[in-house]
A = this chain, B = another copy of it.
Amino acid sequence: MECETKQFRQEHKKEMRAVQDSMDVLSGKWKIPIISSICFYNKRRFSDILNDVDGISNRMLSKELKELELNKLIKRTVLDTQPVTVQYQLTEHGRTLKTIIDNLTEWGIAHRKKIIGR
């Protein structure tokens, strides 16, 4: 079978690494809900996200936002208000996640029907 050749195996390894790169960024309990919140409202402040994302603590939110920023998915802007507020928005690169999130949404709905039946 052709897919047993070394070249095919190599291709497969590359693919797997790429998928894992994506999952490293997106997995965990909070990343996608956070991105989803910022994306949905376009611009969103720390405390707003804290409210949008059900059950998250400020410690986690702070930590996750930092990682997302490191990954260049979101942009952090300190607003000149009293007291200080901070605004988050998706970068161009962050917005490229929309397709994936849409796919995951669709699949999640189908999967729930398949497994739980509603």
Contact = CB atoms under 8 A, between A and B. Distances in A.
A101 interface: yes
Interface of A: 3, 12, 15-23, 25-28, 32-33, 36-37, 40-41, 71-72, 93, 96-97, 99-101, 103-112, 114-115
Within the oligomer, what is the number of copies of this chain? 2
A103 B103 contact: yes
Question: Which 7 pairs of residues, A with B, have the shortest CB-CB distance?
Answer: A18-B108, A21-B108, A22-B108, A27-B27, A22-B104, A18-B105, A19-B104
Contacts of A16: 32-33, 36
Given A21-B111, A22-B107, A27-B28, 4 more contacts: A15-B36, A21-B112, A23-B104, A93-B114
